[in-house]
Amino acid sequence: MDLAMKKTVSLAAIMATMLNYSCLNRCDVDCVNPPSPLWFKVVDKTSLNNLIAEGIYHRDTIKIYYFDGGTKKFANIFYVGPAGQTDIIETNIGIFQPLEQLNTFYLYLNQYDTDTIVVRFVKSSDGCCTAYPLDSIAINGNYADVDKGDYSFLIKK
């Protein structure tokens, strides 16, 4: 093989390697975004007043749980909201159950009142990043209404 041919073959090999590498690693990162936390607001079905803020339900009794087989497990909850108001329940229940299927959680407000929340998160990928957006949610068997101000799901009482 002459010198020109060796240079051409070497250049072609380098270009093929670079092209292959750039196609395989076009994102330069491998990212995964877990399911986003969900916000729930317990409200009066007529006035839409927040029943936690009004003292009807107390923060220290509220819990979210699910069953893993026969074992009852609890999800973390936090209270969030606009400055000075922290009466919206935040939880990341999407990380506790299998994705791509309906999963049932229970919002325990007190000894007389427990709500059923059914959610499904799905996998979505753009080739670089994978995310798990909320696909569906129902509260007590009904379509979940959303507060247009803070995007929390309304649990109407």
Question: CB–CB of 73/91 below 8 Å?
Answer: no
Note down pLDDT in tens along the chain; length 157 residues.
555 444 444 444 455 444 444 444 567 777 888 999 999 999 999 999 999 999 999 999 999 999 999 999 999 999 998 877 889 999 999 988 888 899 999 999 999 999 999 999 999 988 888 999 999 999 999 999 999 999 999 999 9
Percentage helix, strand, coil for the chain under 3-state DSSP, each rounded to 5: 20, 40, 40
The Cα 41–Cα 133 span in angstroms is 20
Torsion of CA 14, 19, 24, 26, to 10 degrees: 120
CB atoms within 10 A of CB 48: 13
